[in-house]
Amino acid sequence: DAGVIQSPRHEVTEMGQEVTLRCKPISGHNSLFWYRQTMMRGLELLIYFNNNVPIDDSGMPEDRFSAKMPNASFSTLKIQPSEPRDSAVYFCASSPRGQSQDTQYFGPGTRLTVL
Amino acid sequence: GNSVTQMEGPVTLSEEAFLTINCTYTATGYPSLFWYVQYPGEGLQLLLKATKADDKGSNKGFEATYRKETTSFHLEKGSVQVSDSAVYFCALTPFSSGSARQLTFGSGTQLTVLP
């Protein structure tokens, strides 16, 4: 079975540009999470969705960040405009319904560099 | 609020040495506890978990026991291999009868095993 798919794997952009990160969760999973990982701050939860509905976006750093989940198989995280301090690895994770709902399955991440 | 404290790294061991990575937590009620592992350039993978007091999670020779009296979930392995070199994260989700729950992560411990 395919795991969580993220694209692109690497993104290099210039300050002020719009960046869109994409995630396809595991089929049948109903929860999706976006994380950011940096050396300074470790792993931070940005936002999570349940049944395509945003449940908690308190981790989104500021209005430049937005996330959508238009259907059960796709989510985007957008940064507009991007800044050098947004450089990080961004992970998407999904979790299933039922007894294993507390286990999250992570994608390989998108390494974002903002120059 | 919920929090997870891990022993600081990095940890460097010789092959076949005994490994312990300490993890303590703060949470109300009865959280589920996890160890995730991150290999270089990859996303996090679930290593093991325990959902109630005195449960022992185990996988790939790693073990951790949920100790409510000491609020701890220490990771152990009797004989490490070079292939175990990775970053290890302790994490928890709060008790909830609802759907998706947020993971709270520790800061991670870098393990390097030398041949």
Q: Is the pLDDT of residue B99 over 60?
A: no
pLDDT at B100: 53
pLDDT band at A76; cut points 50, 70, 90:
very high
Residue B82: per-residue pLDDT: 96
Q: Which two tokens stand for residue A16?
A: 């002020």
**Is residue A55 classed as helix, strand or coil in its secondary structure?**
strand
Dig out the tokens for A5 from the structure.
């798919």
The pLDDT value recorded for residue B41 is 85
> Mean of the pLDDT values across residues B52-69?
95
Nearest CA in chain B to A49: B100
Partner-chain contact B42 A108, CB within 8 Å: yes
Question: How many pairs of residues across A and B have Cβ atoms under 8 Å apart?
Answer: 54
Q: How many CA atoms lie within 13 A of A91 on its CB side?
A: 22
Q: What is the pLDDT of residues A1-24, one digit of tens each?
A: 689 999 999 999 999 999 999 999
B49 to chain A: closest CA residue = A103
**More confident of the two residues A49 and B98:** A49
Q: Does the pLDDT of residue A98 top 80, yes or no?
A: no
In chain A, % of residues over pLDDT 70 = 96
Question: What pLDDT sits at residue A100?
Answer: 65
**Residue A21: partners with Cβ closer than 8 Å, 6 or more residues away:** A6, A7, A8, A11, A76, A77, A78, A90, A92, A110, A112
Q: Nearest-CA neighbor of A88 among A44, A25, A30?
A: A44
Measured between CB atoms, which of B34, B43, B99 is closest to A108? B43
Of B7 and A7, which is predicted with more confidence?
Answer: A7
